[in-house]
Amino acid sequence: MIGLTGISYKTSAVEVREQFSLAKEEIIPFSELLQKETGISDLVVLSTCNRTEIYFSQDKYNFHLAAKLVYKTLKHFKGIEQKFWHSFYSYADEDAVKHLFEVASGIDSMIVGEDQIIGQIKDAYMFCTEAALTDAVLMRLFQKSFEAGKRVRTETKIKMGITSVSGAAVQKCTNLFNNLSNKRVLMIGAGETGSLVLQNFHKNGNPKITVANRTEEKARKLAGRHNCTLLPFEQVPSHLFLYDIVIVATGSKTPLVTRELVEQSLEARKNEQQVFIDISVPRNIEKNIEELEAVQLFTIDDFNEIIHTNMEKRKDSLETALEIIDEIVEEFSEWLASRSLKPAIQAITYNLQKISKEEVSGYNKVDSEEIQMAINEFSKHLAQKYTRLFIKNLKEMTANGKKTETLKLVNDLFSLSE
C-alpha cells in the first residue's frame, strides 16, 4: 500500500508548518525512529517552505492506522505535544499517487505552475534513495511523478506568469516601489530559493543586490554568478541599516533577523522605511518586527493577491493538466496492479510444470525413444496451454490485479505455493 501523510499551506499557517519542517539532516534519524516504532522503513520525505509530506510504502497496517502512526512518530521526533491532526491530510494508493503528481506538476502549489517544486521533489527522492529508504514501488512512483511534471509543463500553459514564491516575493517588491533600480537589497541565503530571487530581480528593476550566507563560499559563488556584492555573514547585523529590502531564505532553525537588530537598523536609518521578506520555513525573521512603525514584513502566506492574479491566467490549463495526470495515474496503477499478479503467475507456472514433470516421470519405462519424446512434448504443450489459460483468466477475474480479494481466492483455490 502506498500512503501519504502531510501538512501544507492549504491546511495550516506557517507558524504550524514550520514546527513539522524536516531538514535534510533530520530525515535519516526520523526514518530510523519510524522504523523502530512502526516497522515502516520505505519512505520519501518532501519538506519545503509550503509543505511537509511523508510518502511511504507498507503492507503491515490498514491505511488509517498507518497514517496516524506516521503522524504520531513525526510529532514524537519533533518534540511536539500539542494536537495538530486536524491540520494533516492523508491519502492512500491512487489518491496518494494523484496528489504527488499534482504536486510535481505545480497544480497543488501556492503559485500554480511554479517550477521550484519539481527540483525539490527530485532532491528529496534522490536523497532518500541514496540512503536506501525507498523500495521498488516508491522508485517507480517518483519517476512517474517526474514524467507527470514534465508533460504538464510542456503540454499546457500552466507556467504562464509568475511560477515561484521567489518570483512572487520580487513581484511584491515591484508593487511596493515604483523604481527598484535605486533600491539596495540584502539577500540572506545562497540556496536555490536565493538564486531564484536574484534571477527574478534581474528581470524586474535590477536593484543593487548584496548576498550573505553562513557558508561564505556559497555566497561568493552566487554573488559572482549574478554580479552582486558579497557581505560576510557576521557583518549582517552591523550593515542591516544600509538596505531598503531584506530577503531571508535559509534553513536556519532560529531567527537570523531579530527585533533588536531591526530596531538598531531603524535608528541608524532615522526611521526610514525598511521592507523585510521572509520566505524561510521555519521563519527566520521574528514576527514581532511588524509592530515597528517603519517596517513592512511579508511571509510566504502574504502572497495571496499575486497568487490569485496568476491563477486566473492559468485556469484554462488546469483541465488539460488534470487529464494528463489522470492518464499517468492510470499507467502507474496498471503497473502496480500487474506487479501484484507476479507471485500468482509464478506459482501457477511452477505448479503446472511440477505436475507435468511428475506425471511424465511415470512413463520413463517406455522403451520407444520416439514415444518418450512425444509424451514429453505433449506434456509440455499441455502445461503451457493451461498455464496461459489460467493466467488469462486470472487477469480477467482480478481486473489485472486490482481486485485483491479475487486474487487471494485464486491462490487459495489452487493451493498455489511458491
Tell me which residues are annotated as active site.
49
Q: Edge to edge, what strands does the sheet with 51-57 contain?
A: 42-47, 51-57, 2-8, 89-92
Q: How far is CA 397 from CA 76, 104, 393, 394, in A?
A: 44, 34, 6, 5
Burial of 61 (0-12, 13-18, 19+ CB in 10 A): middle
SS (H, E, C) 78-97: HCCCCCCHHHCEEEEHHHHH
Decide the pairing of beta strands 274-278 and 208-212.
unpaired
Hunting for cell 542591516 — which residue is that?
A: 240
Write out the DSSP string of 65-78. Answer: HHHHHHHHHHHHHH
> From the CA atom positions of the chain, what is the Rg in Å?
29
Per the DSSP assignment, residues forming a β-bridge with 185 are: 209, 245
Q: For cell 520505505, name the residue.
A: 42
Residue indicated by cell numbers 527540483: 119
> What Å distances lie between residue 228 and 166, 207, 210, 238, CA to CA?
17, 10, 6, 19
CA 258 to chain centre: 31
Amino acid type, 161: G
Q: Phi and psi (nearest 5°) for 366?
A: -65, 130
Grid coordinates of 275: 521592507
Question: At 416, phi and psi to the nearest 5?
Answer: -75, 130
